[in-house]
Amino acid sequence: MEQNHSSTSGNSELERLVAEALGEIKRLGYSKTSRNRYRTTWKHLIEFSRRKELGDEFSAELAVRFLEDPRVRDEQTDEPGDGWRRHSAFEVKVLADFAKNGRIERVFTEVPAIHLVPPMQKTLRDYEQYCKDRLCLRPSTLHGRARDLTIFLDFLHSRKARTLDQIQAADLSEFISCRDHLQPKTIARIVSDMRSFLRFLTMRGIVQKDLGAELPKIRVPKDATIPSVWDPELLVRLLGAVDRSSVKGKRDYAILLLAYRLGLRVGDIRTLKLDNLRWAESTIEITQAKTGTPLTLPLTNEVGEALIDYLKSGRPQTTHREVFLKVNPPFDPFRENNNLHHIVTYWCRLAGITFRSPQKRGLHSLRHTLATRLLEKGTPFPTIAEILGHTSLESTRIYAKADLEALRSVALDPEEVSHAS
């Protein structure tokens, strides 16, 4: 049975801090296992502070000395109950942040576990309806926006704001500062979502002044990133590692081919319906989730055979029209926010694949790889754009940069040439 917070709390400032932090991670929806792990680490920290007579408050010195202690630093966890040491550095950092800012930032936020106060929840639902009716946002876009705003409103709650008319400019800047671990493109999207929400609050008279102007402008050059591309040899190993005799292997092999051979986006693979497979015409016809435009792709023999193998010998009997379903009961389609990254990760691990340099390795990187290979073969940009379903050639030209970087990566150093001669 989970211990009550009172077992950790006491009269010292450090004990009170730990008790409050435990209450906060419970409010944030941390699992019972995670809460017990944090409680154990912080309990050892309190005991260490007493043993070393380092005072009754949390301090940077206490944190450093605790983590440098051989009994904490040693990551061997052979003894029962010693597993807490493996994550102790992170858990002490979480407590340090809570001591400084009075809040805890989750690395991975599970939005369903966040329970907003009723007034904030109602306003957010009204805004979602506004986005559907007036802004005509796609379901996937609206889902992401609601997720970001839920995290923002929960942040406001952690700063003791109970109603939205209490929002201050300082709250906005502090929230964006806490997002500094994210990519600039992601931060820019969050800022844009917040601006739209703040305009809505002003329009509804919930706040008197549009605070959107207080948000920073995040500049993200369109060509700031280089698409990740797989080496041909690694792709051969990846596809070769798939166990096509198993249900999971049959399904995953077809998914990988749709991304690599046809360049379908993850969202379009996830929502692909049986009706989209036009066997008589040997085509796949969809309306792209991202752009809302129709796309027709050839159903090649390789892809078609993989799909037939899965549909006949792997896919469970069900009323669902989605092609790809989970392999365990109740055999539902994948959720909207599932990027299917686990599929690539699973077979990569079995194939023993390692990358020479850091890169993205999800299904979208297989789409990038197709575009780059087509470019290497001299395929015109308009043709590549048509295959990938781009509505603008600017989106396609980014692959020229990937091709240039690939050339640079194999270029000889001038000094090596002189030595060779």
Q: Which of 179, 265, 270, 368 is catalytic?
A: 265
Q: Which of 44, 315, 364, 368 is catalytic?
A: 364
- Structure tokens that stand for 203 in this block: 């329009």
The DSSP secondary structure of 290-359, one letter per residue, reads TT--EEEEE--HHHHHHHHHHHHHTSPP-S--BS-B-SSTT-PBPPTT---HHHHHHHHHHHT---SS--
Where would I find the H helices in 28-81? 32-51, 60-68, 70-73
C-alpha dihedral (256, 262, 265, 266), degrees to nearest 10: -20
364 is catalytic: yes
Q: Which of 37, 315, 361, 367 is catalytic?
A: 367
| Burial (Cβ within 10 Å: 0-12, 13-18, ≥19) of residue 232 | exposed
290 is catalytic: yes
Q: Which of 37, 179, 270, 390 is catalytic?
A: 390
- State the Cα–Cα distance between residues 197 and 377, nearest whole angstrom: 46
- State the Cα–Cα distance between residues 196 and 201, nearest whole angstrom: 9
87 is catalytic: no
Each as own residue / partner, the long-range contacts of residues 390-395 (CB below 8 Å, 24 or more positions apart, any chain) are 391/291, 391/293, 394/222
Q: Which of 93, 157, 99, 100 has the alpha carbon at shortest distance from 124?
A: 157
44 is catalytic: no
342 is catalytic: no
As a whole number of Å, the CA-based R_g of the chain is 26
265 is catalytic: yes
- State the Cα–Cα distance between residues 124 and 153, nearest whole angstrom: 9
Q: Which of 290, 320, 341, 360 is catalytic?
A: 290
Just list the catalytic residues: 265, 290, 364, 367, 390, 399
